[in-house]
Amino acid sequence: MAQGQPFRVNITPGANMAVDTITIDGIQYVNDGSSEPPENSSWVMLEFSSAPGTMNITVSFSECTDDSGVPDKYKAIVTASVSGTGGTVQPVSQKVVKGQSAEIEIIPDEDMAVDTITAGDDVYINNGQE
C-alpha cells in the first residue's frame, strides 16, 4: 500500500472465536458488546482513509459460542429455574451480552399458571391485576 492511500484490513476470527481486542498504535478497542470499534470500521474490517508511514495493529481473539460476535467472557449467564412442579422454562441457561435482553419462555402445565417471577432482587407476583 502506498503511503497516504486508503486501505482496509480484513479480520477473520476462527471457528467459535470473535475479535476480543483491536489495538492500533497503542489505542485499545475492546469488543465487550457495548463499545464501538475504531472509527469507520467494524470488529472484522478496519478501514483507513490514509496509510501512515508506519502503523502497528494487533488483534486478539476469544471464544464465542453463539453468533453475537462478542466474546463469551463479556456475557452474563442467565439461568432460569422452576420452583416446584407445574411447568418448564426454556432455555434453562443462556449467555447474554451484558446490557442486552434475555428471552426466556415460561410454559405452565395445563391448568397451571405462573405464580411468581424473581429476577435478581425484583419479585413479580401474579395477582391477576396486571
Q: Tens digits of per-residue pLDDT, 10-25?
A: 999 999 999 999 999 9
d(CA 110, CA 59): 52
> Phi and psi of 108, rounded to 5°?
-70, 145
Judge if pTM exceeds 0.75.
no
Q: Tens digits of per-residue pLDDT, 18-44?
A: 999 999 999 999 999 999 999 889 999
> Phi and psi of 73, rounded to 5°?
-65, -15
Judged by DSSP in three states, 74 sits in helix
